[in-house]
Amino acid sequence: MTDYQAFKVELSNNIAHVQINRPEKVNAMNAAFWTEIIDIFKWIDDTDAVRVVVISGAGKHFSSGIDLMLLASVANQLGKDVGRNARLLRRTILQMQASFNVVDQCRKPVLAAIQGYCLGGAIDLIAACDMRYAASDAQFSIKEIDMGMAADVGTLQRLPRIIGDGQVRELAYTGRTIDAEEARQIGLVNRTFTDQASLLDGVFAIAREIAGKSPIAVAGTKEMLSYMRDHRIDDGLEYIATWNAAMLQSTDLRVAMAAHMSKQKPEFAD
């Protein structure tokens, strides 16, 4: 596995574990973080042996969000012309968004395991994952409002597809911190666990479950669910019909059917 500055990445049993690995900095998202995550997810997408991804944070906290040093360095590049500054800022924001778009567009399910702080940019990150699970000490806050800015790397775009409109607005306008239990009640996380160890156990158990399914079927399911966030029902129906026109010719259906008949667990190729 490649060495990364901001991450630790492991692959075993078809599960890639992507760990933010700057615990001494509360896993703040520095320059290395934003570029390395693109490489990591390109490798995940290109590697058929990876069937599921778990994202977690090393140490006591998931992540405190963007590194303030990085923000300062962007500010330093600004010049005198407002128009050319705007051109530069727009380009920079689009680049940072791209770092989380690779998570969102990853062809395999991505599960987030969250303990401790999950603030600002960390909310943007977990909103790009498929499912979220939390330890009971987790704390969530859309912190950007306290920096005098509207969040711009995904929270305001993706969270409204995950939790109710009334709740997302209150959280975004006030920056109020919620705990794991409230996060579960409003649908931000699927399930809570008593502590970090049982959190990782629980999340990896779900990941193993998914890794045992046909990767062709899982990929099709994810493509459709992501598609439906932004498309009409009739378009979605036509799209899955076109998709399955190829995929139902895969051997995985026969493998599944045979296993079903013989009451055995099916074994699918990558």
Which one of the spans 14-22, 33-41, 53-61, 184-192 is the region binding its own copies (CB under 8 A)?
Answer: 184-192
Clarify whether 234 is annotated catalytic.
no
Should residue 253 be labelled a site residue for its own copies when binding is judged by CB under 8 A?
Answer: yes
The CB-of-126 to its own copies minimum distance in angstroms stands at 10
Should residue 17 be labelled a site residue for its own copies when binding is judged by CB under 8 A?
Answer: no
Distance CA(30)–CA(38), nearest Å, equals 14
Tokens describing residue 47: 């590697």
Question: Nearest Cα to 6, choosing from 29, 24, 40?
Answer: 29
Q: Among 87, 181, 195, 197, which residue interacts with its own copies (rule: CB under 8 A)?
A: 87
Distance CA(133)–CA(113), nearest Å, equals 5
Please pick, among 36, 67, 104, 144, the residue that the annotation labels catalytic.
144
Tokens describing residue 70: 């990085």
Among residues 12 and 83, whose Cβ is nearest to its own copies? 83
Residues 39-58 binding its own copies (CB under 8 A) are none
Number of CB atoms found within 10 A of residue 244's CB: 14
Distance CA(127)–CA(122), nearest Å, equals 9
Which one of the spans 15-23, 54-62, 113-121, 202-210 is the region binding its own copies (CB under 8 A)?
Answer: 202-210
Q: Among 15, 123, 125, 216, which residue interacts with its own copies (rule: CB under 8 A)?
A: 216
The CB-of-179 to its own copies minimum distance in angstroms stands at 16
Should residue 240 be labelled a site residue for its own copies when binding is judged by CB under 8 A?
Answer: yes
Question: Nearest Cα to 122, choosing from 67, 41, 52, 200?
Answer: 67
Distance CA(68)–CA(53), nearest Å, equals 28
Decide: 192 and 139 in contact? Cβ < 8 Å: no
Clarify whether 57 is annotated catalytic.
no
Which one of the spans 6-14, 29-37, 74-82, 193-201 is the region binding its own copies (CB under 8 A)?
Answer: 74-82
Clarify whether 39 is annotated catalytic.
no
Residues 98-137 binding its own copies (CB under 8 A) are 101, 104, 109, 130-132
Should residue 148 be labelled a site residue for its own copies when binding is judged by CB under 8 A?
Answer: yes
Should residue 69 be labelled a site residue for its own copies when binding is judged by CB under 8 A?
Answer: no
Clarify whether 144 is annotated catalytic.
yes
Token look-up 């709740």 returns: 167
> At a CB cut-off of 8 Å and minimum separation 6, what does 24 contact?
59
Clarify whether 121 is annotated catalytic.
yes
The one-character DSSP state at 30 is: -
Widest Cα–Cα separation across the chain: 73
Please pick, among 36, 67, 104, 124, the residue that the annotation labels catalytic.
124
